[in-house]
A and B are shown apart, each in its own frame.
Chain A
C-alpha cells in the first residue's frame, strides 16, 4: 500500500525544516514546494492527501494557490491547512474564503501541528 502524501509549502527553509522534523517519524511521504505556483504544480501532479500552505509567499500567495487548487479536479477536495503568522479573525476568514479546510498559526506548535495533519489524514486514534 502506498504511503499517504503530505505537501509542505513555504518559502522559508526554516519552516520547511521544522515541519520535516516534526513529521520525520510519521509514515508519510513528504513533498515540498517553495511558492504558490510550485505548490499547485506539485499538487496536481502528485495528488497529496493533505497540504500545509504558508500564506505569504513569492510568485503566488497561499490564498491564490488555494483558489487554484480548488479549480483543479485533481485537488478540488484535498484538505488544505493554511499556516499563517497572521492569526487575526479576518485573515483566518480570508483563508477559508479561498477554500482552505483548516488553519494553523506560526510559530508552529508541534503537538497541534501533528494533531491537525493526522486528523485530516484520518489517522487520529
Chain B
C-alpha cells in the first residue's frame, strides 16, 4: 500500500471507531429518552390524578361549607323563633329571618282569621293596606294554606309572589308567608332557602300559636 492508501485506511478505521462509539451513544441516548418519556408519562398521569383529587376536595369543601351554612341558618332561625313568647317578638324574628337569612325585602305574613280568611299579621316592603286580607281558598297564598305545602313560583324569581310558605300547626296551616321579591343581588332561591322554608313552615306557626296562648294566659290572669 502506498502512503496515501495507508493514510486512508487509518482514517477509515478511525471513522469506523467513531461510528461504533456514536452507535453506542445513540443507543444509550435512545434508552435514556425512553426512560424519560416513561417518567414523563407517569408524572403527567400523576398530575392529572392529583388535579382530579384536588377538584374533588374543593367540591367536597364547598359542600361541607354549604351544609355548615345551612345548619347555622337553621340553628339561628330555630333559636330566634322560640326565644320569646311575645307575639311582636315572634313576628320580628320571622321578619329578620326572611330579610337577613333568606334575603327578601318584600314579604307579608298572614294568619287565618276567625272568619276563615287570611289576615295580614305583618309585612315588610309592601303596602300593608293592599294586603290587609287575602282569600284563603284561591291564589298562590290561599292555595298554600289549603294544601299546607310550600309553593315556589314556576316562573322563578321574576314572579310575584315568588314563594309562599305555610305556617303549619298539628297538620293544618294556620297562615302563610308570602315572599314577593328577593334582594336585588340575590338571583334565585338556594338549597339553604328551601331548608329555611321547611323550618319556618313547622316552627313559625308553632311559635305564633305559643305566643297567642301566652297572650290568652296573660289576659286571663289580668
Give residues in A with beta carbon < 8 Å to B.
Answer: 12-15, 17-18, 21-22, 85-88, 105-111
For the residues of B in contact with A, the DSSP-based class is helix
Q: A107-B101, A110-B69, A111-B65 are in contact. Are A14 and B77 (CB under 8 A)?
A: yes
B76 in complex: contacting residue of A17, A85, A88, CB < 8 Å: A17
Q: Are A14 and B100 in contact (CB under 8 A)?
A: yes
Give residues in B with beta carbon < 8 Å to A.
Answer: 65, 68-69, 72-73, 75-77, 79-80, 93, 96-97, 99-103, 105, 183-186
Q: Are A106 and B80 in contact (CB under 8 A)?
A: no
Q: Whole-angstrom distance from the CB of A15 to the nearest CB of chain B?
A: 5
Additional A-B contacts beyond A86-B183, A108-B100 (20; CB < 8 A): A13-B93, A14-B80, A14-B93, A14-B97, A14-B100, A17-B76, A18-B73, A21-B75, A85-B103, A85-B105, A86-B184, A87-B185, A88-B184, A107-B102, A107-B186, A109-B69, A110-B68, A110-B72, A111-B65, A111-B69
Q: Are A17 and B184 in contact (CB under 8 A)?
A: no
Q: Whole-angstrom distance from the CB of B197 to the nearest CB of chain A?
A: 14
B residues near A12, Cβ cutoff 8 Å: 96, 99-100
How far is B184's CA from A18's CA once the two chains are assembled, in angstroms?
22
A residues near B183, Cβ cutoff 8 Å: 85-87, 105-106
B residues near A15, Cβ cutoff 8 Å: 96, 100
Q: Which 6 A-B pairs have the closest CB atoms?
A: A87-B185, A14-B96, A110-B69, A107-B103, A12-B96, A111-B65
